[in-house]
């Protein structure tokens, strides 16, 4: 969670999305820019998955869950996700998740940082 939130006209928001299954967890951080504030930015953490591509997933700011989006031989896209049990370090891999299955695993969406966008002029 961030210590201070002062929304400006144009910010970069860093949104942490946490996935869970039983006692296995993992998270990613999505960077969202533009003229948006508050809950509208948090919804990006939920909507990102619907229209993302392989490059979007590869370019996430950080991820501790080995999240991948891949294309199979039938030209369909699937998510692969590895979650970790923090008590013992065991890993659980989920393969061939569709958008709905992945988003059903989201248990938290939160701001972790915000910074002003620099002017391009």
- Look at phi and psi of residue 96 and say left if phi exceeds 0, alpha if psi is from -120 to 50, else beta: left
82 torsion bin: left (phi>0), alpha (psi -120 to 50), beta (else): beta
Can you read off the two tokens belonging to residue 40?
């509208």
* Tens of pLDDT, residue by residue, the chain (121 residues): 778 777 667 788 899 999 999 999 999 999 888 777 778 888 877 888 888 888 899 889 888 998 999 988 888 899 999 999 989 999 999 999 999 999 999 999 998 888 888 754 4
The structural domains of the chain, with segments of one domain joined by +, span: 11-116
Q: Which letter, b or e, does each residue of 91-107 get, where b requires 16 or more Cβ atoms within 10 Å of its Cβ?
A: eeebeebeeeebbebee
Structure tokens at 108: 């938290």
* 56: CB partners within 8 A, 6+ apart: 48, 69
Q: What are phi and psi of 22, to 5 degrees?
A: 55, -125
81 token code pair: 């996700």
Beta bridge pairs of residue 107: none
Token pair 């993302």 is found at 52
The 3-state DSSP class for residue 17 equals strand
pTM: predicted TM-score of the whole model, two decimal places: 0.86
């Amino acid at each position: 969670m961030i210590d201070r939130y002062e929304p400006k006209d144009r910010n970069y928001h860093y949104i942490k999305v946490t996935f869970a299954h039983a006692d296995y967890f993992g998270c990613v951080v999505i960077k969202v820019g533009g003229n948006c504030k508050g809950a509208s930015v948090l919804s990006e953490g939920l909507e990102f998955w619907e229209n993302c591509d392989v490059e979007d997933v590869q370019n996430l700011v950080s991820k501790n869950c080995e999240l991948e989006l891949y294309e199979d031989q039938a030209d369909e896209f699937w998510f692969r996700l590895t979650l970790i049990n923090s008590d013992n370090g065991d890993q659980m891999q989920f393969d061939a998740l569709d958008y709905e299955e992945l988003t059903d695993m989201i248990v938290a969406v939160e701001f972790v940082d915000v910074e002003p966008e620099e002017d391009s002029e």
